[in-house]
Amino acid sequence: MDDYKGILTKCIHAGNKKNDTYDALHTPIYMTSNYRLPTDGTPVDWSGIHTNIYTRNGNVNQFVLQDKLSAVEGAEDCVVLGSGVAALSGVFLTFLDSGDHVICSKVCYSAVNILFRKLLPDKYHIEVDMVDTTDLNEVKKAIKPNTKLIHVETPGNPTTGISDIAEISKIAKGADALLSVDGTFASPLCQKPLELGADLVIHSMTKYINGHGDSLGGCVLGKTQLIDMIKEQAMVNIGGILSPFNAWLISRGLTTLPLRVKQHSENAMKIAEFLEQDKRVRFVHYPGLKSHPQHELAEKQMLGSYAGMLSFDIKGGEQEHLKFLNSLKLISHAVSLGDAESLIVYTDKYGEKIKYYPEIYAEGFFRFSVGLEDAEDILNDLKQALDKCGI
């Protein structure tokens, strides 16, 4: 694969196994929990991660997906786990000991919020500072002698706030800490955190990488030495394994990732521009819009496209918000993101998490995952719902 530099070629060909007994062109699904062990007295490393023993130690379909992802992200190595949260907690539990200190984006996925605000401090005595990582001074100020990890989500879920990976990686290196970046909102196509100095990049593969809304998975990419530690601890001994079937489904999804991200990005830009000029819209945040609070940084740090996630709010009160939501016909009110279908989530002003977001979110807002439908159809759905909600 090293001969091929193109991202489409890598997504299609990297990692594929060509030694199937029946000459199958595509790697079959190895639905097996165990493998034959040597009978010649060769010692077995029961917790090993490099030989086929048991599917929790590794499986052919995971190997295919890991190799494909490493090629696409430009990483030395990769581990795939059962969900994005398994990948995130795998990083935290592998690299943090009790008494260590972590700095994390204040705006982050809800499970990370709960892990860092409650579980890890209460159960494992890990010290945590949740700060606005879009502000470098806040990150610098939070550093302590025992800081072991800075974890950043960029673009952040749900606000799409952008944190400066290159500058934060300098701060982390100066403190002898690791930097992990959750790049789920950008996908591996719109941003390359490892090239900007991050030690680990994490994706919920449930989202863009799989892209078809039919399976959960997570991955962590980085240097082999770090990835092996996650495999040994989070995969073999904590057991956050990805099933062979999901690994196969996600490998299939990954084949078309560049084409899908291009379409998501083009559609999202059109939708963001439409929302920005509509007087009934209170605000819209999309990293590709000049009006985004960190647009200049997004332009510098991302790769010229911004994927399909935006957040916005309409004018009016709760009644108008619900009317708008219930008038949507094509766009579904559902969690998750990066699927072919357009998905929207309404967060009302009473939500617990809202206090962690910038002031403009305090009245409630919509998080929108712009799908792969024709942009015109998505726009028309938004327009007719806006017309019906009486603002």
Contacts to ligand PLP by CB under 6 A: 83-85, 109, 153, 157, 182, 184-185, 204, 206, 216, 218
From the CB of 109, what's the least distance to ligand PLP, in Å? 4
Closest chain position to ligand PLP (CB) = 84
From the CB of 242, what's the least distance to ligand PLP, in Å? 11
Whose Cβ is closer to ligand PLP: residue 83's or residue 147's? 83
Q: Rounded to an integer, what is the distance from CA 217 to the centroid of its chain?
A: 10
From the CB of 178, what's the least distance to ligand PLP, in Å? 18
Whose Cβ is closer to ligand PLP: residue 67's or residue 153's? 153
From the CB of 184, what's the least distance to ligand PLP, in Å? 4
Whose Cβ is closer to ligand PLP: residue 84's or residue 288's? 84
Q: How many other CB atoms are found less than 10 A from the CB of residue 350?
A: 8
From the CB of 95, what's the least distance to ligand PLP, in Å? 17
- Grouping H, G, I as helix, E, B as strand and the rest as coil, residue 128 is strand
Whose Cβ is closer to ligand PLP: residue 54's or residue 365's? 365
Report d(CA 232, CA 47) in Å as an integer.
7
- Half-sphere CA count of 65, side-chain side, radius 13 A: 32
Contact between 287 and 298 under an 8 Å Cβ cutoff? The reply is yes
Whose Cβ is closer to ligand PLP: residue 52's or residue 110's? 110
Whose Cβ is closer to ligand PLP: residue 256's or residue 336's? 336
Element (H, E) at 366: strand 365-369
Where does residue 127 rank: exposed (0-12), middle (13-18), buried (19+ CB within 10 A)? middle
43-48, Cβ contacts within 8 angstroms, sequence gap of 24 or more: 47/232, 47/236, 47/237
Report d(CA 187, CA 256) in Å as an integer.
13
The candidate with the shortest Cα–Cα distance to 363, out of 382, 378, 350, 381, is 350
Whose Cβ is closer to ligand PLP: residue 30's or residue 109's? 109
From the CB of 197, what's the least distance to ligand PLP, in Å? 20
From the CB of 213, what's the least distance to ligand PLP, in Å? 12
Contact between 375 and 271 under an 8 Å Cβ cutoff? The reply is yes
Contact between 208 and 257 under an 8 Å Cβ cutoff? The reply is yes
Tokens, residue 34: 């165990």
Contact between 209 and 61 under an 8 Å Cβ cutoff? The reply is no
Whose Cβ is closer to ligand PLP: residue 171's or residue 250's? 250
The candidate with the shortest Cα–Cα distance to 157, out of 106, 194, 208, is 106
From the CB of 269, what's the least distance to ligand PLP, in Å? 20
Whose Cβ is closer to ligand PLP: residue 218's or residue 364's? 218
Q: How many other CB atoms are found less than 10 A from the CB of residue 193?
A: 29
From the CB of 345, what's the least distance to ligand PLP, in Å? 10
* One-letter amino acid for residue 260 of the chain: R
Contact between 372 and 262 under an 8 Å Cβ cutoff? The reply is no
Report d(CA 375, CA 366) in Å as an integer.
18
From the CB of 369, what's the least distance to ligand PLP, in Å? 10
From the CB of 333, what's the least distance to ligand PLP, in Å? 15
- Helices and strands, number each (H, E), in the chain: 14, 12
Alpha helices of 191-256 — where are they, by DSSP H?
Answer: 224-230, 244-254
Whose Cβ is closer to ligand PLP: residue 54's or residue 356's? 356
Whose Cβ is closer to ligand PLP: residue 156's or residue 281's? 156
